[in-house]
Amino acid sequence: MAIQILRDLRGLRVDVIHPPDSEGVSLVEHLRRIGCAVSTAWPVPEAVAPAADIVLLAIDHDSREPLRRLFKGHDRIAPTLIAVVGYENPSILQLVLEAGAHAVVERPVRPFGLLTQLAVARSLWLQQQDALRRTQKLERKLVGIQRIQRAKSILMAGHGLSEDAAYQSIRKQAMSKRISMEEMADAIINANEVLNFRGNAD
């Protein structure tokens, strides 16, 4: 996996949000030597570039408020984030944590160690995305189970079926219509709500 991550770094779109000083220029040069496609921005923009895979973000006291607006502006999956810091103190550490940084690069930026930080940050980000997908899949599965349970209760109450018979009924109807059990359960729930609405209206 480590070798694959190193290979994947080449060609990744990296957004460098850093003052255009000598350190910023040096950072961009290092990244381009690694093989990344680099774009730059300064001052701190309102939002992260939509195409960015990785963001290297200079964090200091002067950019505190713009940084906080930037962090709140994520409306998509956030890219891999690497904080670039010049010194350590509790307030800078707080900003790094608020940003959700996957790694930290210290100033002055040196070529040695930058590739390692990129690889570590990208690995952590990939693990984070995998965990997020697994969680979302489990949440969808739980919601589906709850919908099927509700549909079973409707059939049991409305038709005097046992729990197993209600389940089998949903299963058979789903198979005959070539849809998932969750979709069949939704149809039963929706039909029941329509009938109840009409009954209340009468």
Residue 38: which CATH number?
A: 3.40.50.2300
- Rounded to 5°, the CA angle 71-38-111 comes to 95
- Which of 5-9, 22-26, 149-153 has the weakest average pLDDT? 5-9
SS3 144: helix
pLDDT at 20 over 90: no
Please indicate, yes or no, whether residues 166 and 69 belong to a single structural domain of this protein: no
Please indicate, yes or no, whether residues 143 and 85 belong to a single structural domain of this protein: no
Note the pLDDT of residue 143: 92
On whether residue 127 sits in a domain, the answer given is no
On whether residue 128 sits in a domain, the answer given is no
**84 neighbors 59 (Cβ within 8 angstroms):** yes
Q: Which domain holds residue 6?
A: 2-111
On whether residue 168 sits in a domain, the answer given is yes
Residue 187: which CATH number?
A: 1.10.10.10
* Mean pLDDT across 24-37: 88
pLDDT at 5 over 80: no
* Mean pLDDT across 53-66: 83
Query: Using alpha carbons only, how large is the chain's radius of gyration in Å?
Result: 26
The total number of structural domains that make up the chain = 2
pLDDT tens track for 64-118: 777 777 766 555 568 889 998 887 788 788 888 888 888 898 888 887 778 888 8
On whether residue 119 sits in a domain, the answer given is no
Please indicate, yes or no, whether residues 7 and 103 belong to a single structural domain of this protein: yes
**24 neighbors 18 (Cβ within 8 angstroms):** yes
pLDDT at 1 over 80: no
Residue bearing the bigger pLDDT, 179 or 3: 179
- Rounded to 5°, the CA angle 107-113-116 comes to 125
On whether residue 129 sits in a domain, the answer given is no
Please indicate, yes or no, whether residues 73 and 158 belong to a single structural domain of this protein: no
pLDDT class of 184 with cuts at 50, 70, 90: very high
Note the pLDDT of residue 74: 54
pLDDT class of 199 with cuts at 50, 70, 90: low
Note the pLDDT of residue 2: 58
On whether residue 61 sits in a domain, the answer given is yes
**179 neighbors 141 (Cβ within 8 angstroms):** no
For CA atoms 125, 129, 130, 132, the dihedral sign is positive
**14 neighbors 48 (Cβ within 8 angstroms):** no
On whether residue 122 sits in a domain, the answer given is no
| Partners of 55 in the β-ladder | 15, 81
Note the pLDDT of residue 159: 86
pLDDT tens track for 118-169: 888 888 888 888 998 999 999 999 999 999 999 999 999 988 889 999 999 9
